[in-house]
Chain A
Amino acid sequence: MKLTRRDFIQATAASATWALGGSAMAAEAKKAKGMPFKAALVPRKVRPSTPAKGVWTASTCQGCTQWCAIQLFVQDGRVSRVRGNEISKSNHGYCCPRGHLIPQMTYDPDRVKVPMKRTNPLKGRGIDPKFVPISWDEALNTVADKMLELRNAGEPEKLLYMRGRYSPTSTDLLYGTLPKVFGSGNYFSHSALCAEAEKMGPGMTQGYAGYRDYDLEKTNCLVLWGTDPLASNRQVPNTIHRFHEIVARGTVIAVDPRLSNAAAKAHEWLPVIPGTDGALAGAIAHVLLTEGLWNREFVGDFKDGKNLFVAGAMVDEAAFAEKETHGVVKWWNLELKDRTPAFGEQESGIPAAQILRVARAMGKAGSSCAVWMGPGTAMWPRGTYASMAVYALNGLLGSIDVVVWEGASGPKLNKFPSTDPFVDEVAKKGYKNHAVDVKGKKDMPAFMSSPINNVPNALLKNPGAVKVVLSSWSNFNFSATGAGRWDEVMSKVPFFAHMVTNPSEMTQFADIVLPSTHNSSEGWSIVTNMSNGYGYASIQQNPIKRLHDGKQEETEVMWLLAQKLKAKGFANLADYYDTIKDPETGKSATNELEFSEFAAKFTSAPIWDGKEVQKGDAPVNGWAEFKARGMFSGARYTLKKGWGGKFKTETKKFEFYSETLKKKLTEHAAKHETTTDDILSVSGYTARGDVAFVPHYEVPKRHGSVEEFPFNFIDYKSRLNREGRSQNLPWYQEFKKVDPGDVSWGDVVKMNPLDGAKLGLKTGDKVKITSQAGSITVDLKLWEGVRPGTVAKCYGQGHWAYGRVAAKDYAQATPLGANNNEILVDDYDRMSGATARNGGFTGVRITKA
């Protein structure tokens, strides 16, 4: 450490008198002759100033699931700054803090700069792979040879592809093409790790199994349930932009077991006991019905106008005439009649008086009340029903398609040509093979998405199922619960090629490492998404000079790999890629960069080629103008589009009694020649009979007894997490404190001071957190933002690889902080296939380390 001049002064100070020497003496001497203070305040002229000169160039952020249209400030081929795309109707020209990290990630010193191969055959956590640099030629020849060995042996299905972060259009050139043309049914997306259970609520009631959108401009009561959209989940810039207006004109209610950003700024904070959201939602629904606060226009009314919803009393279904909904009385009779505020308090820990107050505020706002349900509600082993219970409140309030929207559809884009002509018999056979069996079993209905976190379990059971693994922009050894299983299985995979920007945890198990571009600044693609009532397509166009030899995984690497496969006798992939042509010249690509640009150009052509006027933004005249504008927003969302019997459910109504779920479960049961009750039982749900088809409360499932593991563990996301990738940035570490209760350059588990007193623990103590899955050691922080009996820790830290900042010591594989996924048990909401990570499903014990 360098001594500052002041250190020097202090080091040489004798008692209270300055004893000065050397240069410090000179400084003091200069000071002694100073002019009077007021004279020093006479304004001084300054030499001329100029702001930075550069060009704001359109791009797309992919730091969360929103995929905001942004602009990068480019000076001399370098990116320095970031902002929202000024023509975006979704983010108003702003990005959240994540966007500002793009230049830092682009220039991360720990980026993989060239392809590498492993020279140490031994694989495992903490074992140095002894990577050495190789050429792209050697790297792709090796991968192509390994792949062709499979085809030549008639077992192409032994290729496993696992997708991490992707472009929603370019993904069709890898995820959507390679398995079909090469011939493997063993390919999976990361999707089920992150959000799929939250899509069950809208999926099973409304027939819309996707992320929702919200009219925050018109929302007068905003209920943020199991989500903190000032920090994560969806449309963060739009939420930040509108939040204060809603606080000023209406009511904001935050349901979250920890004091989140939204909870800090809400009128009401409901720190629900983890996993009991269904009981709280049931109690609110009970109040809305018993106090006559439901929306008549959407739900309908009693035929004689008299409210028969009285606590504990069954209601005759014939007495009620429904409008846009199906089964409100069935729901009442099966579930809600006994879900009084007192019951809600008993289960959820939220006082009955607060439940009443909140329900009344929601009812008063009526169809201008948006219940924004997020992953905290749903991502636990029985989360499907909590998701339905919370989402169904929007039905009672009549907010559906009023302030709670399905996503607006964006502009029309070109779909890549069919792969059918390039699929041979070997590929057809391989594509039907699902030897890596993660779903479709009796106990894993997985209606939303394949549970990728089940891959290690499948491979541990059937290790011979896979010989070659490809994966892109993924890091399951870090990002998936039960992380140790991934270490075990990846150390046994015979050949693994990883397309990645940094030497991540998963990369430590790779045989070949292929450096990826950071696509927000270095890639080409068209990215689609929606928020604030608009669907949009936004460009990524590599406006900067790439400093390393990275290549975009879904386009450039695949095109080069296809050429290698063709040179070695398997031409189908390369021939297929040749069918994707520059829409202006009609030519196929002659190199990987052209292919990448042509793919973006081909996809977006309907926006700018002038053939058809698209609804939404003003017409775009040509490719150059589209690159300059960077995005196109479609027409604004149409209100009440599902009303009038147009919801995509079995009954075409909003289903409080879900015929849609009933059909799915019945079909799944029939496939396995059993009953729906049996499916519910083996999948770990408590409901039997008809209650399984209405939103209802299921008691939390918990791994570990309260006696042995007394604390509920809460995992949440940092507002600075660009998924699991930004922790290697000093700026992330420096401002980690922007997550309430967290500490910069550290990783703390937060515990209520009462529990700390009981255990004799204090802030700053090193503690060991132990679950049935494992244990981690971190610093303790006593904090009033969590209830006694619950501890909270942010996800993001705990990298034992990735780079010099994320890991405390990369060479020694020593983490900075600890990874929650090492203690979270590998479990699922089996109905959706989603990985469990919320709802307090993992019990933990905390001891002094």
Chain B
Amino acid sequence: MSKLGMVIDLGRCVGCGACAFACKSENNTRNRANGQSYNWADFIMHTEGTFPNTTHFVLPVLCNHCDEPPCIAICPGNPEKAGKGKPYKALFKTAEGITLHNPELCVGCGDCQTSKGCPYSHEKLGSSSLNGETYSVISLNPAEDNPQPFWADKTAAIAGGTSSGAEVSAKSGARIPAENVWQGGELKSIRSDDVIEKCTFCYHRVSNGLQPACVEVCPSQARIFGDQQDPNSNISQILKNEKSFRLQEDKGTKPNVHYVGKYSPRA
């Protein structure tokens, strides 16, 4: 059985943001609202030291696809809808070790976002997330709320002269004009309301032999994705040969996202 995972080489990473944009384009994630970032890929930023001995660090973050995922533990799922004896949790593990989400079984409770559900997430992000101090890997689309409001807005800055989100969307023939249309198991390329959403390790891509979008676009190839069970894989070799760490080891979640290297040679 395979066990997919990712290594992020901080020595290679320059914090440029290409991975986060590729993720947004690939997965059609919406704009921040109501304390939800909808950034499946995000960053922690941190400046430390005193001038001129100052250093700055960037840490790309995403769902850790944990071996012991508290999000699955806490997920109430929908037993009624699933049917008797059937798996009913909305969050679940695939055979490849990906923590995936089935929106059909999601009741939109947001328990997975709480500190008990995910030590890396927050139910509501405050202004500290705009500084790169906090982030969330799970976001919630509230019930009865249009999950793509930017592209439903009918207002025009100049009546008849400039366009609107709704008009661009209608003329493009897609729900959002740059929609990247894929099919990912039970997942939809654009989420509906009343469900959570999170990184899928680009399940729709990796289950078809492609790399996750964030991995593919990285100009410094800082992200290495692959099967940790295969001793010959690039990721296994790196984990074997280099000192690595994972986020919040003390929580016992056993993440499958690992970090190697130093962001700054001055650190």
Question: A residues within 8 Å of B by Cβ?
Answer: 1-6, 9, 24, 26-28, 30-31, 33-35, 37, 40-53, 73, 75-84, 91-92, 94-97, 99-101, 103-104, 106-114, 116, 131-133, 230-231, 236-237, 240-241, 243-244, 247-248, 252, 259, 261, 263-267, 269, 271, 502-503, 513, 545, 547-548, 719-720, 730-731, 734-735, 737-738, 740-741, 743-746, 752, 783-788, 803-804, 810-811
**Complex contacts, B179 vs chain A, CB 8 Å:** 75, 78, 80
**Complex contacts, B251 vs chain A, CB 8 Å:** none
**Complex contacts, A730 vs chain B, CB 8 Å:** 31-32, 150
**Complex contacts, A9 vs chain B, CB 8 Å:** 109
Cβ < 8 Å to A, chain B residues 162-210: 162-165, 167-168, 171-174, 177-186, 189, 194, 203-205, 207-208, 210
Name the distance in Å between A40's Cβ and chain B's nearest Cβ.
Answer: 5
Given known pairs A107-B172, A264-B264, the reply for A4 and B153 (CB within 8 Å) is: no
Chain B residue nearest in CB terms to A115: B161
Given known pairs A264-B55, A786-B51, the reply for A737 and B219 (CB within 8 Å) is: no
Q: Are B178 and A104 in contact, with the CB atoms below 8 A?
A: yes
Given known pairs A78-B178, A97-B21, A104-B178, the reply for A112 and B161 (CB within 8 Å) is: yes
Cβ < 8 Å to A, chain B residues 141-167: 142-145, 150, 153, 155-158, 160-165, 167
Q: Are A247 and B265 in contact, with the CB atoms below 8 A?
A: yes
Interface readout for B37-69 with A: 1 if CB under 8 Å, 0 if not? 101000101011111101111100000000001
Given known pairs A113-B161, A132-B160, the reply for A100 and B265 (CB within 8 Å) is: no
Name the distance in Å between B83's Cβ and chain A's nearest Cβ.
Answer: 13
**Complex contacts, A737 vs chain B, CB 8 Å:** 43, 45, 130-132
Residue B115 at the A interface, CB < 8 A? no
**Complex contacts, A3 vs chain B, CB 8 Å:** 142
Bound-complex Cα distance A734 to B33 (A): 11
**Could you give 28 example pairs across A and B, Cβ below 8 Å?**
A1-B34, A2-B144, A5-B142, A6-B123, A9-B109, A40-B73, A40-B92, A51-B205, A52-B181, A73-B180, A77-B173, A100-B217, A107-B172, A109-B153, A112-B162, A113-B161, A231-B16, A244-B12, A247-B265, A503-B162, A547-B168, A548-B163, A730-B32, A731-B21, A731-B24, A735-B20, A738-B45, A803-B157
**Complex contacts, A263 vs chain B, CB 8 Å:** 56
Q: Are A46 and B185 in contact, with the CB atoms below 8 A?
A: yes
**Complex contacts, B161 vs chain A, CB 8 Å:** 112-114, 116, 131-133, 503, 513
**Complex contacts, A231 vs chain B, CB 8 Å:** 16
Pick the contact of B180: A80, A100, A236, A735 (CB < 8 A): A80
Name the distance in Å between B154's Cβ and chain A's nearest Cβ.
Answer: 10
Chain B residue nearest in CB terms to A251: B265
**Complex contacts, B140 vs chain A, CB 8 Å:** 4, 6
| Contact segment of B74-82, B223-231, B232-240, B242-250 | B74-82
Known: A43-B95, A52-B26. 5 other contacts (CB 8 A): A97-B18, A100-B22, A240-B220, A266-B266, A502-B162
Top 4 closest pairs, chain A to chain B, by CB = A31-B76, A46-B185, A100-B21, A107-B177
The number of A-B residue pairs with CB atoms under 8 Å apart is 336
**Complex contacts, A97 vs chain B, CB 8 Å:** 16-18, 21
**Complex contacts, A31 vs chain B, CB 8 Å:** 74-77, 109, 111
Residue B87 at the A interface, CB < 8 A? yes
Bound-complex Cα distance A367 to B169 (A): 55
Chain B residue nearest in CB terms to A39: B87
Bound-complex Cα distance A31 to B168 (A): 42
Q: Are B51 and A785 in contact, with the CB atoms below 8 A?
A: yes
Name the distance in Å between B253's Cβ and chain A's nearest Cβ.
Answer: 12
Q: Are B25 and A40 in contact, with the CB atoms below 8 A?
A: no
Bound-complex Cα distance A30 to B9 (A): 41
Name the distance in Å between A49's Cβ and chain B's nearest Cβ.
Answer: 4
Bound-complex Cα distance A26 to B143 (A): 15
Question: B residues within 8 Å of A by Cβ?
Answer: 1, 9, 11-12, 14-18, 20-22, 24-26, 31-32, 34, 37, 39, 43, 45, 47-52, 54-58, 69, 72-80, 87-89, 92-95, 97, 100, 107-111, 113-114, 123, 129-132, 140, 142-145, 150, 153, 155-158, 160-165, 167-168, 171-174, 177-186, 189, 194, 203-205, 207-208, 210, 213, 216-221, 263-266
Q: Are A109 and B216 in contact, with the CB atoms below 8 A?
A: no
Given known pairs A110-B163, A114-B160, the reply for A6 and B110 (CB within 8 Å) is: yes
Pick the contact of A30: B79, B158, B160, B263 (CB < 8 A): B79
Bound-complex Cα distance A99 to B21 (A): 9
Given known pairs A27-B107, A231-B16, A547-B168, the reply for A110 and B162 (CB within 8 Å) is: yes
Q: Are A81 and B52 in contact, with the CB atoms below 8 A?
A: no
**Complex contacts, B47 vs chain A, CB 8 Å:** 259, 740-741, 783-785
Name the distance in Å between A783's Cβ and chain B's nearest Cβ.
Answer: 6
**Complex contacts, B150 vs chain A, CB 8 Å:** 109, 730
Chain A residue nearest in CB terms to B32: A734
Q: Are B265 and A265 in contact, with the CB atoms below 8 A?
A: yes
Bound-complex Cα distance A780 to B89 (A): 46
Q: Are B76 and A267 in contact, with the CB atoms below 8 A?
A: no
Q: Are B110 and A259 in contact, with the CB atoms below 8 A?
A: no
Bound-complex Cα distance A267 to B262 (A): 12
Bound-complex Cα distance A79 to B258 (A): 33
Chain B residue nearest in CB terms to A113: B163
Chain B CB within 10 Å — which of A6, A42, A84, A513 has the most? A6
Bound-complex Cα distance A78 to B186 (A): 25
Pick the contact of A259: B1, B54, B100, B145 (CB < 8 A): B54
Bound-complex Cα distance A212 to B226 (A): 39
Bound-complex Cα distance A817 to B261 (A): 36
Chain B residue nearest in CB terms to A8: B143
**Complex contacts, A741 vs chain B, CB 8 Å:** 47, 56
Q: Are A785 and B56 in contact, with the CB atoms below 8 A?
A: yes
Name the distance in Å between B56's Cβ and chain A's nearest Cβ.
Answer: 4
Q: Are B203 and A49 in contact, with the CB atoms below 8 A?
A: yes
Q: Are B130 and A44 in contact, with the CB atoms below 8 A?
A: no
Q: Are A810 and B157 in contact, with the CB atoms below 8 A?
A: yes
Q: Are A4 and B143 in contact, with the CB atoms below 8 A?
A: yes
Q: Are B185 and A47 in contact, with the CB atoms below 8 A?
A: yes
Given known pairs A76-B173, A803-B157, the reply for A243 and B14 (CB within 8 Å) is: yes
Q: Are B76 and A30 in contact, with the CB atoms below 8 A?
A: yes
**Complex contacts, A545 vs chain B, CB 8 Å:** 172
**Complex contacts, A84 vs chain B, CB 8 Å:** 219
**Complex contacts, B183 vs chain A, CB 8 Å:** 47-50
**Complex contacts, A113 vs chain B, CB 8 Å:** 161-163, 167
Name the distance in Å between B217's Cβ and chain A's nearest Cβ.
Answer: 6
Q: Are B180 and A745 in contact, with the CB atoms below 8 A?
A: no
Bound-complex Cα distance A4 to B123 (A): 10
Bound-complex Cα distance A167 to B43 (A): 35
Chain B residue nearest in CB terms to A73: B180
**Complex contacts, A80 vs chain B, CB 8 Å:** 25, 178-180
Q: Are A267 and B16 in contact, with the CB atoms below 8 A?
A: no
Name the distance in Å between B208's Cβ and chain A's nearest Cβ.
Answer: 5
**Complex contacts, A738 vs chain B, CB 8 Å:** 15-17, 43, 45, 58
**Complex contacts, B220 vs chain A, CB 8 Å:** 240-241, 243-244
Name the distance in Å between B139's Cβ and chain A's nearest Cβ.
Answer: 11
**Complex contacts, A34 vs chain B, CB 8 Å:** 76-77, 79, 89
Q: Are B16 and A27 in contact, with the CB atoms below 8 A?
A: no
Q: Are A787 and B52 in contact, with the CB atoms below 8 A?
A: yes
Bound-complex Cα distance A261 to B266 (A): 13
Pick the contact of B182: A50, A259, A269 (CB < 8 A): A50
Bound-complex Cα distance A784 to B216 (A): 34
